[in-house]
Chain A
Amino acid sequence: MRETLNRDTAINLAILALLVATAVGAHLAGNGFTVTLATKAAIFGLAGVGLNLALGYGGLISFGHAAFFGIGGYVTGILASHASTGMPVTSLPFTIMGSNEMLGIWPMAMLAAGLVALVIGALSLRTSGVYFIMVTLAFAQMLYYFAISWPRYGGEDGLSFYVRNSFPGLNTFAPIQYFAICATLLAVALVFTAVVTQSRFGLALQAARQNSQRTIAVGIRPYAIRLTAFVLSGMIVGLAGSLYADLNRFVSPAMLSWHMSGEIMVFVILGGVGRLCGPVAGAAIFILLEHVLGGISDYWQALLGLLLLVIVLFAPGGLIGIVTRRGRHA
C-alpha cells in the first residue's frame, strides 16, 4: 500500500516536472509555440482537475462541464471588452465595471461558474445514473444555444479582445510568464484537491460514490455533499475557462459546446479517473496527440477516437493505471 502510494506521488511529481521542464526548455530554446502548447496543457489540465473532483471522486458523470468552462471564458471576455470601452457591464442591481486585471477577473469567473453550477447541480442531482449524464449535457447545450442566439457579445462569431488581461508585476504577453501563471494556478488547484479529498468532506464524497445507502445510514446527506463538490468542480473549471480565454484572447460558443465537455472528460480518462495528476497527464497527452497526429493526418480525430476506444475497452485505469499496474485509484 505504502509503496504504491509513493509510486503515485512520484508519478504525480514527475508529470508536473515534465510539464514545467518542457515549457522552460522550450523557452530557453526560443520556441514560443511549444511554451504556448504547454500553457494549453496546463489550462486543460486545470479543467480536468476540476472535473475530476466531481467525476473521479464524487462519481458524478457530468457531461456538461463545458458550461462552466465557457462561463469562465465569457465572464473574462465580457469584462475585458467592457474595460476597453469603459462602459459598465451592468448598473442593476449594482454597478459592475469592466476589468482587465486577472486578479479581479478570476474571482468573478469562478463566482459566475459556481452560481451556474449551483443551479444546474441542484436540478441535475435530483436524478442519477444515465439521466444525470443526459441532463447535464442538455443544460450545457442550453447555454451553448443561448450564447449563439444572444448577439450582444458576438453571438455565433464569438468575442475577441485584443489585449491580454494583466497581472501585477508580470508581462502576461510573454509566453513563459503566462505559463508560470497557469502552472501556478494548476499547482494550487492540485494542492486544494489533495487537501479536500483527504478532508472529512472529501471522504464523505467518496463514501457517497461507493455506497450511497450506507452514507445515509451514518447520517450524511449525499445530496448536499455532491452539490458542494459539483459547485467546487464548476468553479475550478470556470477558472480554467478564464485562463483559456486569456490565452486565445477570444471566446466563442465553441467553449460551451458538448465537444468541449467530451474533451475535458477525455483528459480525465486518458490519465486515469480519480487520480490527482491524472487529468494533467491526460491533457498533456491530448495536446501532444493533437499535435503529432494532426501532423500525420487531417483526420487525426478518427485516430484519437480509435485510441480512446482501445483505452476504454482494454485499459480502464487510464495511462497512469498502466504505469502503476492498478485499476482505479481512490
Chain B
Amino acid sequence: MLLAEQALNGLQYGMMLFLMAAGLTLVFGVMGLINLAHGSLYMTGAFACAAVAAATGSFWLGLVASLAAAAAAGALVEMAVIRRLYARDHLDQVLATFALILVFSEGTRWLFGSFPLYLKLPASLSGAVVLPGGLHYPLFRLVIIGFGAAVAVGLWWLITRTRLGIRIRAGEADREMIGALGVDIARLYTIVFALGAALAGFAGALVGTIQSVQVGMGEPVLILAFVVVVIGGIGSIKGALVGALLVGMTDTLGKALLPGLLSRVLDASSANTIGASLASVLIYVLMAVVLILRPQGLFGARG
C-alpha cells in the first residue's frame, strides 16, 4: 500500500520533471543552446500563477497566466539575449544564462519579496480520491500526472504530426537548408524557446501549488532536469520522458525504501541517517551508471 502510494508520488514527480526537461532538451536539440535560466522561467510561471490566483481568486486563471507569463518571458529573453548566443560557444551560453538567473531571481525578490507565497487549490481539485485497492490519494497529484501525460502526448503530436513539428525537426537537422527553403528561422527559434518556457512555467505553477512559491525554487529542479536530460539523451523528447520517470521513481522510492532496507543490516538510527544520505545521491549514481554504459544517454544520437 505504501509502495503503491510512493510509486504514484514518483510518477507525479517524474511527470513534473518531464515538463522541465522537455523544454531544455528541445531548446538544446533545435538550437544547440544550454539554458541555465530555464529554472527562472519555472519560477516565473509559479509567481505569475500565485499573483493572478491571488488577484482574481481563480486558480484556473492562475494556471493560464503561468503559461502566458512564462511564454512571454521566454520569448522576450530569447529576442533580447538568447538569440545572440546561438553562434557562441557553450561557455558564453552558460555565463549569459547564469547572469539571467541572477537578474530573474533578484528581480523577483524585488517585486515579491523573500517570503514564500502559497497557492490555494480550488475545492474541485483538493481532497483525496479512493483508488482501486482502497488507497486514499490526493486528487491534485493525480491531476499533475494527467497533465504530464497530456503534455507528453501533445508534444509527440506536435513534433510528429504538425507543420510546426516538421519545421522544428528540420531545424534540428539542417538549419541552413530550411532557411534557404523560406522558413523564418529566427521566428521558429523564438517559438520553440517560448514553448519550452511555457512548459517550465506550467510545471512551476503546479509544483508551487503543492509546495510553495519562492525565489530560487527553480534551481534544484533545473539541476534535476539536467540529470534527466543527460540520462535520456540530449534532444530526445522520448528520452526526457523515460529519464524523468526513472529519476522521479528512483528518488522517491529511494527516499521511502532505503532506510527500511538498511535497517535490516544496521541499527535503526544509523540506517536512517545513512539511508537518507544515500537516497539523496541515488539519482546521481543512476546518472553515473548511465554515463558509464551509454555516454550519449539512453536515447541520444550524438556522443
Contact = CB atoms under 8 A, between A and B. Distances in A.
B102 A302 contact: yes
A123 B291 contact: yes
B34 interface: yes
Contacts of B32: 130
Q: How large is the interface on B (under 10, 10 to 19, 20 to 34, 35 or more residues)?
A: 35 or more
A308 B99 contact: yes
Interface in A95-124: 123-124
Interface string A259-274: 0001001100100010
Contacts of B229: 134
A131 interface: yes
A138 B99 contact: no
B230 A258 contact: no
A123 B106 contact: no
A139 interface: yes
Contacts of B91: 55, 61, 269, 273
A63 B94 contact: yes
B103 interface: yes
Contact of A313 (B84, B105, B230, B277): B84
A299 B281 contact: no
Contacts of B95: 265-266, 269, 308, 312
Interface in A235-260: 258
Interface in B147-192: none
Contact of A126 (B92, B219, B295): B295
Contact of A123 (B34, B223, B288): B288
A148 B100 CA distance: 27
Contacts of A167: none
B261 interface: no
B280 interface: yes
Interface of A: 55, 61, 63, 123-124, 126-131, 133-135, 137-139, 141-142, 145-146, 148-152, 258, 262, 265-266, 269, 273, 299-302, 304-306, 308-309, 312-313, 316
Given A123-B292, A262-B98, A304-B102, 11 more contacts: A123-B288, A130-B90, A131-B234, A138-B227, A138-B284, A149-B280, A265-B94, A266-B95, A300-B106, A302-B106, A306-B103
Interface of B: 28, 32, 34, 81, 84, 90-92, 94-96, 98-103, 105-107, 109-110, 219, 223, 226-227, 229-230, 234, 273, 276-277, 279-281, 284, 287-288, 291-292, 295-297, 303
25 contacts: A63-B94, A127-B303, A129-B90, A131-B297, A135-B230, A138-B226, A138-B227, A141-B223, A142-B281, A148-B280, A152-B273, A258-B223, A265-B94, A302-B107, A304-B99, A304-B102, A305-B100, A305-B103, A305-B106, A306-B103, A308-B98, A308-B99, A312-B92, A312-B95, A312-B96
